Amino acid sequence: MKNHSNLDNSAPILPIWEQGVLLAERREGFHTFRLFELEGTYVEVTQHTHFNVVLRVASFRDPKHLDPYLDAISLEGLFPL
């Protein structure tokens, strides 16, 4: 996983906000994790909810990094009982 931590400027992540597709969002304590897809790559943006600052941007292609988001996906209604 590529990690672009402690960004001082939001300019490097502007393409994510403008062109990326938001796939999922999760919260842990004071952190919000947003998962985007951008040009065939997953991008996870970690933001501090209280201070509204980006703490970390990580990109990856391996779907094993999607595990933290799987609990938020409802399978109800997909399979008949």
Instruction: Express each pLDDT in 19-69 by its tens digit.
Output: 889 989 999 999 999 999 998 899 999 999 999 999 999 999 998 898 998
Asked whether residue 25 is domain-assigned, the answer is: yes
78 within domain boundaries: no
pTM for this one?
Answer: 0.73
CATH number at residue 60: 3.30.67
Specify the long-range contacts of residues 34-40, CB closer than 8 Å, at least 24 apart: 35/66, 35/69
Phi–psi pair at 3, nearest 5 degrees = -125, 125
Is residue 81 assigned to a domain? no
When pLDDT is cut at 50, 70 and 90, the band that residue 16 belongs to is confident
Local structure of 51: helix, strand or coil:
coil
User: Does residue 72 lie in a domain region?
Assistant: no
Asked if 71 and 14 count as a contact pair (C-beta separation under 8 A), the reply is: no
Give residue 15's domain range: 2-64
Say how many domains are in the chain: 1
Strand order, beta sheet including 53-60:
2-5, 53-60, 41-48, 31-38, 21-28
Question: Is 80 among the domain residues?
Answer: no
Q: Is the residue at 14 inside a domain?
A: yes
